[in-house]
A = this chain, B = another copy of it.
Amino acid sequence: MSEFPDHLNETRGRYPYLTSLASRWNDLDLFGHVNNAIYYEYFDSAINRYLMEVGGNDPLTDGTMQFCVENRCRYYREMGFPERITVGLRVAKLGKTSVGYDLALFAEGRNEPSALGHFVHVFVDRANRRPVAIPAALRDALARLLGDT
């Protein structure tokens, strides 16, 4: 489908934020590879790590919460256990109340991604859960991840 870029071009250098994680034994399903739902855990963890560590987000107390309103993933290559995986993150689109992220998963020693993902977060008010403007500090952090595409 047209909504994913050509994955062969999506090397690590195209993702301004890279973070690594280890797969877990029970990430595997009975086919012996990481189950598709787990890929979203990897993506989600990279995004929230960035929001918290770089953007200063405190998800327990901040006045806003980030809700995922849409995401998707395309799978190119199986992943296993034990395996160390690098997640790449960039911001594809930064709106007033929402942000679109492009993500990629890289196996060790490989340039092309094992999977590509996309997430859309809408920021909502903690009390009434209605969309609100992305707080300035988070917005600044997100702007630094804007890619050239």
B-contacting residues of A (Cβ < 8 Å)?
1, 3, 20-22, 24-26, 28-32, 35-38, 40-42, 44-45, 47-49, 52-53, 59-60, 65, 67-75, 78, 81-82, 129
> Cα distance A24–B24 when bound, in Å?
11
Beyond A30-B59, A36-B40, A45-B82, 13 extra complex contacts between A and B, CB < 8 Å = A3-B3, A20-B22, A21-B24, A22-B45, A25-B48, A26-B37, A28-B29, A28-B30, A36-B68, A36-B71, A40-B40, A52-B82, A72-B73
Contact between A71 and B73 (Cβ–Cβ < 8 Å)?
Answer: yes
Q: What B residues does A1 contact at CB under 8 A?
A: 3, 70
> Cα distance A125–B39 when bound, in Å?
23
> Cα distance A72–B47 when bound, in Å?
17
Contact between A81 and B45 (Cβ–Cβ < 8 Å)?
Answer: yes
Q: What B residues does A25 contact at CB under 8 A?
A: 29, 35, 41, 44-45, 47-49
Contact between A70 and B72 (Cβ–Cβ < 8 Å)?
Answer: yes
> Cα distance A60–B28 when bound, in Å?
11
Q: What B residues does A60 contact at CB under 8 A?
A: 30, 32
Contact between A35 and B44 (Cβ–Cβ < 8 Å)?
Answer: yes
Give the contacting residue for A73; candidates B29, B30, B49, B70; CB below 8 A: B70
